[in-house]
Structure 1
Amino acid sequence: MAGTIFSIIPPIIAILMVILTRRVLLSLGVGIISAALLIEEFSITGTGMVILKAIQGVFYSDGEVNTWNVYIILFLLILGIVTALISISGGSRAFGEWAKKRVKTRAGAQLTAALLGILIFIDDYFNALAVGQVSRPITDRQKVSRAKLAYIIDSTSAPVCVVSPVSSWGAYIIAMIATILTTHGVSEYTPLGAFMAMVPMNYYVISALALVFAVAVFNINIGPMKIHENRAIETGQVVDPNKEVLGEVKEDLPTSDKGTIGNLVWPIISLIIGTVSSMLYTGYSAIEDKADVTIFTIFENTDVSASLLYGGLFGLAITIILFLGKGIKASYLPLALKEGIKSMLPAIYILLFAWVIVDLIGQLSTGEYLAGLVEKSNLDLSYLPVVMFVLAGFMAFATGTSWGTFGIMLPIAGEITAATDINMLLPAMAAVLAGSVLGDHCSPISDTTILSSTGAGSHHIDHVMTQLPYAIIGGGIAAVGYLVLGFTGSSVIGFVSIILLVGAFITIFAKKQKQVVKERA
């Protein structure tokens, strides 16, 4: 049944189920079973064997341990432990106390939150809660509404994580890319090279981050955000007194009062240094002819999964040293280990299921069949990036998950482009990543949206409704960029087009805000 109309059944089932049930693992699981049934033509025994073989391939393939997948999983677990240790050590709390004495304006408070959202890129969950904890005392003091803070947190967490290779998102995406490149025999790019090449093509991330800084600097308030900001400025009430907010961040972990800003900064710096150094070392070691060594050839040959693992171990070691050096009870280490690992298990489960369904969808040649339909319909492939962007956005909006959307849409994008025009592979996958983040930003059931509301201490629906206009504007700008990219074949021209549109938006709304200020005066 491979390459026929039946090959689209598994992804359709997975997509419909994830929309109806909002349970990603269940939906991917049913998609896996249905794909295996079709591959083995409904043989129960054969279906079980195909699934088991696909699961085995995640950890062991071609007669050896699949170190890529194993190292990625270990890296994610290490990130969870580091996050827990930073929380217990009081690093986030100490930084908040330090910054509160130095930030004196509303714009400065918002910019501090935005910059922290970019700097704390290890994981979106940690980002949302940590930035909220650090920034809330600062923004409250400067009469910045909690809805504005939630928007800043939400619009810098996932966008930064999705373009950072040294993050849980980056590790997950690079792992997906590696599987897709291998499946379609693409050797022009390494997984890391493909990931980095897609960064400037993630037009929604670029427009969303640019809008965050413009909103902070020029105090651009659109739609419902005006109500919240006006109330905060005029009355000092940063939340609607008539609504129940999600409240303070509930910390299950103890927090030390001995922590310093170093307990937050140095683990992140050490993680970056350790990972980058490992990339340079593994890349250099893999080059046989040392006469050809350049920074580009090093990164082309680097072992990303091993480098992430080594960097993670280095960062973990530094974090533990700082943790114990502050006199914090060593008995808290097992707690950090337990809670850190526990926090990463949902991401790992999704990743494992995604790896399996990528393999099975590839065996069914689902993308080839869909590509055939595209060809028969005479659809101009120039529309492919924007179509993938919109579809991914809708799916992430309906399901509330970017990662689940990645798991379903990235392999489909790979299949379609491999069967039509492989040169569109990276733009199509970049559009999927961008659309997934857009949908996540618009979705009221998104875990990142909920955590951003919680971290900021904002009413959840207030956050959803105030962020929606900015997300839609950023999405519209990105869609234009993908249309330009599709028709010109140039990611540079697409990039320039969105920069011009963002600039036009900032110019228009900044002038309107200045007029509002003059009228008030």
Structure 2
Amino acid sequence: MTTLSYADSALSLLPPVVAILMAIVTRRVLLSLGLGILLGVVLINDFSVAGSGQYLGEQVVGLFWDDGALNAWNLYLLGFLILLGMITALITVSGAANAFADWARTRIKCKRDAKLLTMFLGCVVFIDDYFNSLVVGSVARPLTDRYYISRSKLAYLLDSTAAPICVISPVSSWGAYIIALIGGILTAHGFTDTGHLSVFIQMIPMNFYAIFALLLLLCVACMDLNVGPMRQHELNAQKGNLYDESKGLPPGANSDLPEADNGKILGLFLPIIVLVCATFYFMVSSGGDALAADGKPFSILGAFENTDVASSLFFGALVGFLATVTFVLSQGLDKQYFIQGIVAGARSMLPAIYILLFAWTIAGVIGQLETGKFMASLASGNIPFALLPAVLFVLAGLTAFSTGTSWGTFGIMLPIAADMAMGTHTSMMLPMLAAVLAGAVFGDHCSPISDTTILSSTGANCHHIDHVITQLPYALIVAGISLVGYTVLGFTESLMAGLAACSIVFVISILVLRVKSRQGTA
């Protein structure tokens, strides 16, 4: 039986802080997450050994069996990972990935074009961040490898298009979730005449972090701006070391697989196209079924609001897997290659699955300790109104960083931001809500325990902590730019003034980074 002695207190920060610091210092993710979990468990159970053991067992079982039924969300997502691993491996052994790299080499002439193509694909595949990171990584990796772009840079390209694009796209799992949240908040505060979709669209230019994260990524791709540890990773890649081999194979890697010599480009694009179309269909279909069950008329936006993301990803991947199998068998792929690809593909996803299971466990522990509520409570008090957007941005960032979830941060912080706006200045409601969205994505980008960050590492076949460490300087730069923008926005109550301030700081930052990058000191 849990006592929750330290729930919603400063001590509730200990488990995530210990896990994150340990992961950064030791570079051993599972060990660090395990220590964070154990610390949280003993805090919840007031240092009772028996109670802690029982509670930990319940948490682990709950990952697969919850409230008398299978934990469908987790199992579907794990199944999606395994299926995608098998699809990727089959594409590799069929020779399709190599064929695509050869084809692209005649059209993509340099590293810059390879990075821009990756970024473009990330912006196009916007229906879900998990889907974005894993699928775009599978398509882009043969090309970025060919041009000796480090896996850490590829992971940054994936991660910095996935969440920023999804958070400003209304037709995505993120957009639908946010619209539903904001709709409930506005209705609760009496704003019943305002269209929820139109409110979301109005908030897009107020999401400074998402906008300038994408702009910085574009500059990094075009100007080859390598900041902090990323510089060494890129130098190593030029020598043929795309990832740190001393740490073993990264999650999702299949470097020892044989490749057929009759691969076709269609063998890469057909499975991915089928996967994308099938996933989109299942997302709309499951959402439409939910609308019909509630007696509501069908709409695309309504379907995305009510869709079952995890099951849609799984069934979409299953259809994509069947399409892959059909194609490679029709190609005449050797049976030994086929079996080897299936086994190696599933096995390659095990490191990512282990990390996800530990991350989900610590997320449950952190939720029980109410760490997010404690972080949100820091926003209350005598904070000057003009500083509220900036303060909310920082607190949302810290909350997402500590809890590893941007969606959870949305659920906690958005209602608080709305209440604060109603108690001070209702005209600043939308900027304050946007500041929470921006801060949550920022914290998600920095957190080693974020599932989006984990899956971006997996999609790029990059060691997880290497991705976290190399992406952090870029995220902090954009956070600094956003913080200036929200401060100006708070004092002027002008969106244009906030955007102008961000733009000025952004241009200065790019000029400084370009000079330092040329000098080798960035």
| Shared fold (TM-score, shorter chain, > 0.5) | yes
Equivalent in 433, 436, 446 of residue 441 of structure 2: 433
After superposition, what is the alpha-carbon deviation per residue over 1:204-249, rounded to whole angstroms, capped at 9, x for unaligned? 5543443454566xx6466899xx9xxxxxxxxxx989x8542799
For residue 29 of structure 1, what is the aligned residue in structure 2? 34
Say whether 1:156 aligns with 2:157. yes
Offset of residue 318 of structure 1: 0.7
**Given the superposition, is the C-alpha separation of residues 487 and 152 from structure 1 closer, same or farther in structure 2, using an over 3 Å criterion?**
farther
For residue 46 of structure 2, what is the aligned residue in structure 1? 41
TM-score (norm 1): 0.67
Q: CA–CA distance in 2 between the matches of 1:84 and 1:102?
A: 25
Q: Is the 8 A contact 1:267 1:318 kept in 2?
A: yes
Equivalent in 312, 316, 320 of residue 317 of structure 2: 312
After superposition, what is the alpha-carbon deviation per residue over 1:100-128, rounded to whole angstroms, capped at 9, x for unaligned? 33456887566446546667895757856
Say whether 1:328 aligns with 2:333. yes
For residue 279 of structure 2, what is the aligned residue in structure 1? 275
Say whether 1:357 aligns with 2:362. yes
Q: CA–CA distance in 1 between the matches of 2:492 and 2:151?
A: 37
Equivalent in 137, 140, 146 of residue 131 of structure 1: 140
Equivalent in 367, 384, 394 of residue 387 of structure 1: 394
State how 1:97-496 maps to structure 2 within 5 Å. 97-103=102-108, 111-112=116-117, 114-115=119-120, 131=140, 133-135=142-144, 153-162=154-163, 203-204=208-209, 206-213=211-218, 220=223, 244-246=239-241, 251-288=255-292, 292-375=297-380, 378=383, 381-388=388-395, 407=404, 427-428=435-436, 430-437=438-445, 474-481=478-485, 483=487
Q: CA–CA distance in 1 between the matches of 2:436 and 2:462?
A: 33
Q: Is the 8 A contact 1:86 1:264 kept in 2?
A: yes
Structure 1 unaligned residues grouped into runs of 5+: 140-145, 166-170, 229-238, 396-404, 441-445, 514-521
Q: CA–CA distance in 1 between the matches of 2:446 and 2:8?
A: 31
Offset of residue 71 of structure 1: 0.9
Offset of residue 469 of structure 1: 8.6
TM-score (norm 2): 0.67
Match of 1:437, as an amino acid? H
For residue 142 of structure 1, what is the aligned residue in structure 2? none
Q: CA–CA distance in 1 between the matches of 2:440 and 2:163?
A: 11
After superposition, what is the alpha-carbon deviation per residue over 1:316-375, rounded to whole angstroms, capped at 9, x for unaligned? 111111111111112223322222222222222222222222222222233333444553
Q: CA–CA distance in 1 between the matches of 2:28 and 2:152?
A: 25
**Given the superposition, is the C-alpha separation of residues 342 and 392 from structure 1 closer, same or farther in structure 2, using an over 3 Å criterion?**
farther
Q: Percent sequence identity over matched residues?
A: 34
After superposition, what is the alpha-carbon deviation per residue over 1:169-216, rounded to whole angstroms, capped at 9, x for unaligned? xx9x98xx99xx9xxx9999xxxx9xx999987755543443454566
Match of 1:301, as an amino acid? N
After superposition, what is the alpha-carbon deviation per residue over 1:374-394, rounded to whole angstroms, capped at 9, x for unaligned? 53574854334442577589x
Equivalent in 93, 98, 101 of residue 98 of structure 2: 93
- The two structures, once aligned, show a CA RMSD in angstroms of 5.1
Q: CA–CA distance in 2 between the matches of 1:336 and 1:322?
A: 14
Q: CA–CA distance in 2 between the matches of 1:359 and 1:81?
A: 29
Match of 2:265, as an amino acid? I
Structure 1 stretch displaced more, 29-38 or 263-272 = 29-38
Match of 2:442, as an amino acid? A
Q: Is the 8 A contact 1:201 1:431 kept in 2?
A: no
Structure 2 unaligned residues grouped into runs of 5+: 167-171, 188-196, 244-252, 420-428, 449-453, 516-522
Structure 1 stretch displaced more, 12-21 or 368-377 = 368-377
Q: Is the 8 A contact 1:117 1:131 kept in 2?
A: no
Aligned length: 450
**Given the superposition, is the C-alpha separation of residues 37 and 89 from structure 1 closer, same or farther in structure 2, using an over 3 Å criterion?**
same
Match of 2:142, as an amino acid? Q
Match of 1:268, as an amino acid? I
| SS of residue paired to 1:331 | helix
**Given the superposition, is the C-alpha separation of residues 133 and 505 from structure 1 closer, same or farther in structure 2, using an over 3 Å criterion?**
farther
Q: Is the 8 A contact 1:482 1:494 kept in 2?
A: no
